[in-house]
Structure 1
């Protein structure tokens, strides 16, 4: 190739890359940090970087379809769903837990930003290991009479995965209506034929965002939620997917610590609504709001508890980042303590600054991270933020295993648990769901769990952290640079 031809090719690539950069800047104009990272990639990989962006970073415009489905369900709230609607805006409101009044602005935020109705007739069972969760779940599935709706990021083709699918198949043969929705990327190693017998028995199975050429090729915007609703009355939500590793029985020699919840009460209605919104979007099944359908999926629930709950969802179908905003409001409302457990800590500026500000107000801020990672590159980005915490007096603990629990707790009264990690991906790129619990007794259980984990964890000191070798420091710097994409 002659020099002039080579120069011509270089100029064409250069101009094409400028065009790609401008397109990326326009698409990511609301998220400048994300745009800067992609521009860096495109400078290192001209044109090819833009192709990578289309696969990993492209906005797929979810808003219209999901917004319509949500609006249809919201129109049914007053007629079928809301058994208890409190006049939250009234300063005379009386809560069953008297301390809740001190955090009424968190409740108002969730109502205004997410239409998250507050209910106080709930009861919660909390699990810190997979064996207990699956024992309860299997018993509830066996006792199901009418409907079982399941949504998971990961359903493994392993012992517990096949056991649950086989059990669902049995229930489908008995006439129970079964819907299973799972994320294709999260369950990329799970063959669809695993569900063949369930489908033949009458069960419905669907993938969320299947990756197909010409329709959807983005690896972003995954459904990270874990929701089960049985007979419209029992709900499960939390950090555990369906897989042997959650019982520490997988081939991976990695001790797994997680948290999951079983809920009964009116808040189950809203887990059901989130599931159905995702189901109708992914399955293309025609929505039906017939009275018979609604009464089956949203049956009357007799009050069994007294715990206050709001169910909050967030995802790329909205730019409000509802769960992150609620976390920041919790942090700013704390008066004494803030305890956080998260497997990944890759915060954006506002979230990190809210923690630093709380620490400067002499609030006891403690963050627990895993000592053993499941993804090394992501873990390097997570540990790169430890110094940003230590400098402000925030205590950081490393749990001796892989800590997958997602919990934020303030004072002795309010906590949030669910699927949301303290990272940019969970805040903005994935579909997530958390419950916000307003109850001192339940919060005390969560504090005990945190302190029990803390007793076996390592407290990070500045001396230990500063003793990192140069190799680790370089890897942390590189991974942090690309952390908005992780």
Structure 2
């Protein structure tokens, strides 16, 4: 009997695997998720026994989302109500309708987000577009040292390496002096030692991880991570963009890899919207009641009148706000569309919109890294280049180092800087946040930065690209199979 069981052990396991796989497939079909993602999960479950179940368990189930983020959405609604009613943010922040007439109908996405309580259009803003980490950290450290009331930080990656320790030491000193300091960090992306956490505790810095996991080093790119990078100082200065707190984001003699990134410093009313999004996250990670008062939303008088919306998306939002904003901007482009992203694994809507824009004469250009930090992401990106190039879209690959900037600029009218990549993970799975900027001067600054980056990039020639090896094409096809799940 025992020998018989031993002989059939693997057969029993295989039968059990496919029984569970059938249950999983039925569950997926009832969810009515998009067809490409459905097919990807089914193929993985059928053709990759055992491994397919692991993938589905880690990435396919949404019981965590439904259970956890429904509660967060309720909390968000309560905070919106408190901010909107008690502080009259809505009445002050929404721009006058005359502003829409100035833009004509070229950028309709303002109206797309205008009705949202979470994305008011603000006009009283001045901004600085920051190129690379060394520029960002110099200004951020200066602003942190000048903080008088409070400091709020929310980061996907914060490490206690050289730059991280310098910033965390400033936070500790500020907390000791009586200034309120709150720090939220993603538990998968960040690495803080026990000694640093003890220092933060002893100095009075309040700090919480976002969705703690048991073995963060083994979770890789697990679902529902907080990919945002937000810094708020005294409610009037805010930072948003692609640069995390880590030494690798600084270009100095210690780092062999040049890191090209873009961040944004805001002084003005848009910081209030960043503050709102920070508070919703803080309420979630700290699991404590928030005392929302006017100190978090002070009056501010900026030198300029730059129009900005803050668009946030994540598992707790009803709509893919950032993706919809980008799609609307692409659809309304008349002259050019310049996109920089480290990960380009788009959905069908983005691909179609870019192809149509190029075919009607819009100058569409895409800048991606030549060397990626992910084999499967790079090959998945490469699998899309044929259809882009065929439609007349110009593709460039940055060779100076790794380009991590996440920017889009359209027609000298609209630009966006933030944390959102052009991939399924950013559009639908992780928590992301972008600044949408409606200003000719700032759009031209970002456009000129894009054109400068092209000088250190290779243009992809369609005829040469088609001649790449069959092995490369096979790897791309394999990676693309996984693209809906990346």
Please report the TM-score for the alignment, with normalisation by the length of structure 1: 0.92
Q: Distance in 1 between matches of 2:473 and 2:40?
A: 20
- 2:73 is the alignment partner of 1:71: no
Match of 2:61, SS state, is coil
Matched ranges for 1:65-214 at <5 A: 65-75=71-81, 76-80=83-87, 81-82=89-90, 84-86=92-94, 90=97, 93-94=98-99, 99-103=102-106, 105-113=108-116, 115-187=118-190, 189-212=191-214
**CA apart distance, 1:5:** 4.8
CA, structure 1 residues 349+55, in 2 after alignment: closer, same or farther (shift >3 Å)? Answer: same
Please report the TM-score for the alignment, with normalisation by the length of structure 2: 0.92
Q: 2:352: which partner in 1?
A: 353
Q: Distance in 2 between matches of 1:10 and 1:317?
A: 37
Q: Distance in 1 between matches of 2:328 and 2:21?
A: 41
Q: Distance in 1 between matches of 2:41 and 2:469?
A: 29
CA, structure 1 residues 312+176, in 2 after alignment: closer, same or farther (shift >3 Å)? Answer: same
Q: Distance in 1 between matches of 2:224 and 2:271?
A: 25
- 2:375 is the alignment partner of 1:376: yes
Contact 1:338 1:365 in 2 (8 A): yes
Unaligned runs of 5+ in 1: none
Matched ranges for 1:10-409 at <5 A: 10-27=14-31, 29-59=32-62, 60=64, 61=66, 62-75=68-81, 76-80=83-87, 81-82=89-90, 84-86=92-94, 90=97, 93-94=98-99, 99-103=102-106, 105-113=108-116, 115-187=118-190, 189-212=191-214, 219-249=222-252, 253-289=256-292, 294-400=293-399, 401-409=401-409
CA, structure 1 residues 444+5, in 2 after alignment: closer, same or farther (shift >3 Å)? Answer: closer
* Number of residue pairs matched by the alignment: 472
Contact 2:118 2:273 in 1 (8 A): no
Question: What's the Cα RMSD here?
Answer: 2.1
**CA apart distance, 1:31:** 2.8
Match of 1:385, SS state, is helix
Q: Distance in 1 between matches of 2:225 and 2:160?
A: 19
Task: Give CA-to-partner distance per residue, 1:240-264, whole Å, 9 cap, x none.
Answer: 0011111124866321100001001
Match of 1:2, SS state, is helix
CA, structure 1 residues 87+184, in 2 after alignment: closer, same or farther (shift >3 Å)? Answer: closer
CA, structure 1 residues 418+87, in 2 after alignment: closer, same or farther (shift >3 Å)? Answer: closer
Contact 1:408 1:416 in 2 (8 A): yes
Task: Give CA-to-partner distance per residue, 1:387-410, whole Å, 9 cap, x none.
Answer: 111010000111122111111111
Contact 2:95 2:123 in 1 (8 A): no
**CA apart distance, 1:376:** 2.0
CA, structure 1 residues 359+104, in 2 after alignment: closer, same or farther (shift >3 Å)? Answer: closer
Q: Distance in 2 between matches of 1:446 and 1:99?
A: 21
Contact 1:416 1:436 in 2 (8 A): yes
Match of 2:124, SS state, is strand
Contact 2:409 2:416 in 1 (8 A): yes
CA, structure 1 residues 262+8, in 2 after alignment: closer, same or farther (shift >3 Å)? Answer: closer
Q: Distance in 2 between matches of 1:404 and 1:369?
A: 9
**CA apart distance, 1:85:** 4.1
Q: Distance in 2 between matches of 1:448 and 1:9?
A: 59
Match of 2:289, SS state, is coil
Q: 2:439: which partner in 1?
A: 439
Match of 2:266, SS state, is strand
Q: Distance in 2 between matches of 1:26 and 1:191?
A: 43
**CA apart distance, 1:104:** 5.4
Contact 2:379 2:480 in 1 (8 A): yes
Q: Distance in 1 between matches of 2:144 and 2:42?
A: 49
Q: Distance in 2 between matches of 1:288 and 1:251?
A: 43
Unaligned runs of 5+ in 2: none
Contact 2:413 2:438 in 1 (8 A): yes
Q: Distance in 1 between matches of 2:154 and 2:48?
A: 37
Q: Distance in 2 between matches of 1:123 and 1:302?
A: 9
Q: Distance in 1 between matches of 2:252 and 2:60?
A: 35
Q: 1:452: which partner in 2?
A: 452
Q: Which moved more, 1:39-48 or 1:325-334?
A: 39-48
